[in-house]
A and B are shown apart, each in its own frame.
Chain A
């Protein structure tokens, strides 16, 4: 049969043209095995890291290998592990039992929204475990099998767990909407613990854990390296402000021990956040100390196992005790605060050797931290600003139009929502909120939390970052927002990528950086450069021309993007 030519009517009736079937094949979720596609999974934990931490089954393997070199009796290990956890965690037992699959959570996960994989619906993520629970731990499942939603634990199930439990950022957004409070973060944590029993970890989480265990921080910076790093920041601070700040390191008898995520030591724009802490403490004259031993506020143990949370976190109180400080102050971080707020006091407390935190400048007693003795930098700063202890010139941030990304852990595992907003509004004249169902307790994850923030799973992260990205793009187009503030070290690393892809032109900043840029310091030189050592638009006579050009470019850039998709 000859095909009709394109200008002949027959061509357009050519059936083949219409016959393409775009519907993917349909199988029930229990029968759909995982397809490990590059860009969606994370590399496995290396043997040396597992060995260092005395974790089971250390070996080098690849996700795409047929054989994952599990122990002979892997099935027994998993089922015993499940039984043990069902005895230990009411959450686990309960969440296995009471889900009614109402679907309220189904469309709340950023990975489902951005990617459309049904197994990223929180309910199905939990069913991955629940189906095994039914088979081996419930009477109905044992008798009725698949009809009761039960399935056999197979090698493929393990692979599926590995894929999907490392595709959950433990952000807890779904748990806000669940009528029974079923928390997928708990499910994922259990799933990861079970995988851990088989020696299945992702390297991006387990290497930092091993590093942190040895050197005190995730990046593996040794003590002299840390001091060196901070000294570089001191130089930059001097260049920007003309003030030379001190670095109190492992100083015994200081009033406050300061801990912050190590992401702030070496990665942009965390560095500026870190510099800002030093500026703030120097300005108010806080008697504080850094610690090389407790040089990590974050805790990748949270992404590994409950035991690992405790093993890594032990350093914080131990160091506070050794140095003889009165209380602890913590920097801007997300999962660090989930750990500090919801786990630390239980796993390694109560720290009775410390005192109830009290701000030496305002006299405010932080009653809400009475037992754990650790205060969030935003609580501390908000209190300082409220009492007029900081001299601020918000107009220095006038070229910044900022919006705020609530970090999952601090929003849904702590509830620190107003303090950062108060601080930001005090130091910036242009603050804009993103749409209501994307902030506060309904905030969307950056897509890179809970050990997922590496680069080999970039596609997956960008899918997960889409909901956040589109909300940022909206305020960018509507209000000309050009900076996204976040008080989380992982956000500060991953949201840059999310913005570059989904809302190009929006930069990422820590909140403290905005504070330090607005602070009028005693004895400062004329501030013409911000902490990124960029010229502040319109700050210096000589640089006016230059500044204006840059400023114009920004506006022009804004304009172009604005025109970009107003065509609706």
Chain B
């Protein structure tokens, strides 16, 4: 059920972009909606980040995944249980760039002879890495559509991504990895009853949305071969706040663009904000210096305690009887 709702929504959105632009609403889909989407994306993201940033971290509660810093002769696990800012940066970098926690999924095999072997259970990690990294590269590749002249680094990235040149246009490796990784993530969600049980529309919708963006982008690049020059005219126009809608752009492009806009607008209000949220996670971004330095709770308040005086008042006679020293005789 959740799957079909999500799929139907994405198909509907795509057709809306496609047909809407075809019906002469290209100004709406080419100018108005992109501006709204960017506004929602930036505004929403800032709003979300501000909310998190404004919520205090009352306690220092890192999840320690290795040996603490203690006696000098015991080797500390500086990345899994960092006690310095540098260590935290390292831990976060590994987490954000390499999805280190997913790498921890170990698997044991018990052989007939009782011998135990360990391996990693890497599929989820591989699928996520492939998806996220190819998405990043594709995004960076798109920069050339927005900036003139195209920065050298971006050109280099294009060359790198297109190293498997098998004719024209250049085939980018990521164009394939991106949808394949997404399909893997989708089928994983559908195939494992455990995951299907926990999955919501909130999970399927962004997946279909991204798949839609990926496939329509693929189509534009390799099959219908969009007029890049006109597209660039549109994007540069948007960037310079002098928007135009070149006539040579196909409705298919508007379908693609509309899905991207929906994604941008949806992003800050969905689970996709994990992109920004991961930086704020207190179990990962705090150093384990709990006993070494004082961590203050900004909203700390006095609580009712049972004082020693009250305690001694209740038990004084009994304490004296067995010779435990007391404050008041």
Point out residues on A near B: beta carbons under 8 Å. 28-29, 54, 86-91, 93-94, 97-104, 106-107, 118, 121, 123-124, 127, 138-140, 144, 147-149, 172, 175-183, 186, 213-216, 222-224, 227-228, 249-252, 292-293, 306-307, 310-311, 314-315, 318-319, 322, 340-343, 345-347, 349-350, 364, 366-374, 379, 382-383, 386, 411-419, 422, 435-437, 440-442, 474, 477-478, 566, 568
Contacts and interface: CB of A to CB of B under 8 A. Distances in A.
A297 to B, nearest CB: 15
28 contacts: A88-B299, A89-B56, A90-B57, A94-B282, A97-B48, A98-B273, A106-B195, A118-B198, A147-B2, A176-B63, A180-B278, A180-B281, A181-B283, A183-B61, A186-B283, A224-B319, A250-B324, A310-B303, A318-B305, A319-B308, A368-B291, A372-B290, A383-B71, A416-B67, A417-B68, A437-B118, A441-B65, A441-B66
B203 A100 contact: yes
B322 A228 contact: yes
B284 A181 contact: yes
A148 B269 CA distance: 11
A568 B198 contact: no
B128 A102 contact: yes
Interface stretch (B102-110, B213-221, B234-242): B102-110
B64 A214 contact: no
Contacts of A54: 304
B328 interface: no
Interface residues of B, number: 94
A342 B52 CA distance: 21
Nearest to B272: A100
A182 B281 contact: yes
Interface in B72-113: 73-75, 77, 80-81, 83, 95, 99, 101-102, 104-108, 110, 112
B12 to A, nearest CB: 14
A254 B300 CA distance: 31
B222 interface: no
Interface string B283-302: 11000101111111101100
A379 B273 CA distance: 41
Given A177-B101, A415-B64, A386 B71 contact: yes
A106 B294 contact: no
A383 B304 CA distance: 38
Nearest to B288: A415
Interface majority SS (helix, strand, loop, mixed), chain A: helix
A179 B77 contact: no
B61 A224 contact: no
Contact of A147 (B118, B201, B291): B201
B51 interface: yes
Given A86-B55, A93-B52, A177-B104, A118 B124 contact: no
B304 A346 contact: no
Given A101-B200, A249-B324, A180 B282 contact: no
B56 A179 contact: no
A436 B118 CA distance: 8
Interface majority SS (helix, strand, loop, mixed), chain B: loop
A411 B64 contact: yes
Nearest to B317: A224
Contact of B201 (A149, A343, A345, A371): A149
Nearest to A29: B197
Given A88-B56, A216-B311, A345-B291, A314 B64 contact: no
Contacts of B299: 88
Contacts of B292: 367-372
Contact of B55 (A88, A102, A340): A88
Nearest to A380: B71
Interface string B142-185: 00000000000000000000000000000000000000000000
A419 B269 CA distance: 46
Contacts of A138: 269
- Which of A138, A144, A252, A345 gathers most chain B CB within 10 Å? A345
Contacts of B202: 148-149
B66 A98 contact: no
Contacts of A416: 67-68, 70
A121 B60 contact: no
Q: 6 closest pairs, A vs B, by CB?
A: A415-B68, A415-B64, A98-B277, A181-B283, A372-B291, A149-B200
A227 B323 CA distance: 10
Given A94-B52, A98-B274, A147-B201, A224 B67 contact: no
A121 B195 CA distance: 10
Contact of A412 (B64, B74, B201, B314): B64
A252 B325 contact: yes
B228 interface: no
B262 to A, nearest CB: 13
B65 A412 contact: yes
B118 A346 contact: no
A344 B62 CA distance: 15
A179 B308 contact: no
Contacts of A311: 303-306
B126 to A, nearest CB: 13
A293 B107 CA distance: 47
Given A177-B102, A346-B295, 7 more contacts: A98-B273, A179-B278, A214-B314, A223-B315, A371-B291, A371-B293, A436-B108
B247 interface: no
B322 A121 contact: no
B77 A415 contact: yes
- Which of B52, B56, B308 gathers most chain A CB within 10 Å? B308
Interface in B194-214: 194-195, 197-203
A382 B74 CA distance: 10
Nearest to A54: B304
B197 A118 contact: yes
Contacts of A249: 324-325
B69 interface: yes
B58 A89 contact: yes
A469 to B, nearest CB: 15
Interface string B257-281: 0000000000001110110011011
A458 to B, nearest CB: 27
Nearest to A351: B294
Contacts of A93: 51-52, 55
B187 interface: no
B307 A318 contact: yes
A175 B284 CA distance: 10
B5 interface: yes
Nearest to A307: B303
